């Protein structure tokens, strides 16, 4: 293993390796390097400010996804010859089992989990993780027959040797523009997932994703709007002329989850999983916490927790998944997104909007440009959100927490935000 790392990255006992960040990824990398007896230094700006002296003479930098490569000390070290290596690079260089790699602005956790379930239903020893759950290096197992990795744009932008057996970019929409500057840079980071020569799985409904097509590569497409290799027709999931399953048997809220299911089926086919067993896994699939998760039917209303919708694209996808109009709960830390992109779908799909958090005024300003007035309310916390929703809603209405924003302005993370929503519903007096 050490020989492979020396050949791929020139990592030796004489290397000066700096691991940046002591979070989940950094800790995983440190444990891996310790196992192989590589000397390294680990630093974290939350404990002490980065200094140019710390990075002086560094031969290799392994920078956690949460740390920007534009950090001056890091940028300076890279400029002075330090080699950028990611935990995904280390993982991809040494595993022998095939890797399926999954990214996108939205849906990647769902598709990753779906495909992991499919592989297990097919009897495969599969490792599932990456940006979701366990870090890649913690998944290493000589008995593994397949690895399924969710990868973020931050992981991909610092990875150079990934060659997945199958890979997908599910969709591209504005996210993390505070780090990537613009949508083109964000899409370019996502496209790294197609490095190598594996099967490409492309969303035929997303022009930016379709533009990534390589005519020399085997490709599967998926669509919920038109015929493709895997597509939705007459409320059935199809592969060519074959009906795979009725949409009604997919136990998830929203039509966008039909797209996620089709993507997972395409990836499964790409790595030769049994189609019938993959469909069986889908029929038994449980929604992820905080992702289009129905948490209650209190007051004869449907309360749906989509707190993981931390960008506009995710909120749009959630709203478009409903045929009827919903009561939308949105707001938080906007991350520099243009809230005007939300207005057409809110006009079409929301009967009322309840706004929370720091950038609620930005969403309200965007809504004020609409020709049709949509009732809009402000809430300071989830108790107030739920009280307002219960007051304006009627039996049969859906209340959708799909914030389109990050959560850190008010909550520990999106999980905490979703949990507070569920607790407030539970405390609601009928």
Q: Which positions are catalytic?
A: 108, 131, 176
Query: Helix or strand or coil: residue 7?
Result: helix
**306: Cβ contacts below 8 Å, ≥ 6 apart:** 290, 291, 292, 293, 314, 315, 318, 400, 401, 402, 403
Give the separation between CA 60 and CA 17, rounded to whole angstroms: 5
Please say whether the beta carbons of 134 and 199 come within 8 A: no
Residue 283 CB partners (closer than 8 Å, separation 6+): 245, 249, 250, 251
Tokens of 60: 């290799």
- Rounded distance between C-alpha atoms, residue 402 and residue 311, angstroms: 9
Whether the CB-CB separation of 74 and 31 falls below 8 Å is answered with no
Structure tokens that stand for 348 in this block = 């079409």
Tokens 């409320």, located at residue? 235
Helices (H), 223-274: 256-270
Return all residues near 402 (Cβ < 8 A) that are at least 6 apart.
Answer: 304, 306, 309, 314, 315, 318, 319, 328, 329, 330
Strand partners, 60: 17, 83
The two beta strands, 302-305 and 398-401, are: parallel
Closest by alpha carbon to 302, among 422, 414, 400, 383?
400
């Amino acid at each position: 293993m050490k020989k492979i790392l020396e050949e791929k990255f020139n990592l030796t006992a004489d290397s000066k390796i700096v691991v940046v960040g002591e979070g989940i990824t950094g800790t995983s990398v440190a444990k891996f390097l310790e196992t192989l007896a590589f000397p390294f230094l680990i630093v974290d700006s939350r404990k002490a400010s980065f200094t140019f002296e710390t990075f002086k003479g560094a031969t290799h930098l392994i920078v956690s996804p949460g740390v920007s490569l534009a950090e001056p000390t890091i940028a300076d070290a890279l400029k002075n010859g330090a080699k950028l290596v990611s935990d995904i690079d280390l993982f991809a260089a040494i595993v022998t089992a095939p890797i399926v790699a999954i990214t996108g602005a939205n849906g990647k956790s769902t598709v990753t989990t779906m495909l992991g379930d499919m592989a297990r239903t097919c009897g495969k020893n599969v490792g599932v993780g990456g940006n979701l759950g366990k870090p890649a290096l913690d998944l290493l197992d000589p008995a593994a027959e397949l690895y399924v990795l969710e990868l973020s744009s931050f992981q991909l932008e610092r990875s150079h040797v990934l060659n997945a057996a199958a890979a997908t970019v599910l969709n591209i929409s504005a996210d993390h523009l505070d780090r990537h500057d613009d949508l083109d840079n964000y899409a370019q980071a996502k496209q790294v997932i197609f490095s190598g020569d594996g099967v490409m799985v492309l969303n035929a409904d997303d022009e930016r994703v379709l533009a990534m097509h390589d005519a020399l590569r085997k490709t599967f497409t998926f669509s919920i709007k038109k015929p493709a290799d895997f597509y939705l027709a007459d409320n059935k999931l199809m592969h060519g002329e074959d009906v795979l399953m009725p949409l009604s048997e997919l136990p998830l809220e929203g039509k966008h989850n039909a797209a996620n299911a089709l993507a997972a089926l395409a990836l499964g086919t790409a790595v030769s999983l049994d189609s019938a067993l993959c469909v069986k896994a889908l029929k038994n699939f449980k929604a992820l916490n905080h992702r289009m998760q129905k948490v209650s039917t209190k007051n004869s209303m449907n309360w749906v927790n989509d707190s993981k919708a931390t960008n506009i694209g995710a909120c749009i996808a959630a709203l478009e998944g409903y045929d009827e109009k919903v009561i939308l709960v949105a707001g938080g830390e906007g991350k520099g997104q243009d809230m005007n992109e939300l207005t057409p779908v809110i006009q079409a799909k929301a009967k009322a909007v309840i706004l929370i958090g720091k950038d609620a005024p930005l969403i309200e300003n965007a809504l004020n440009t609409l020709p049709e007035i949509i009732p809009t309310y402000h809430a300071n916390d989830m108790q107030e959100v739920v009280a307002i929703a219960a007051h304006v809603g009627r039996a049969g209405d859906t209340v959708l927490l799909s914030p389109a924003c990050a959560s850190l302005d008010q909550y520990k993370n999106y999980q905490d935000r979703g949990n507070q929503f569920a607790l407030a519903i539970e405390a609601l007096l009928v």
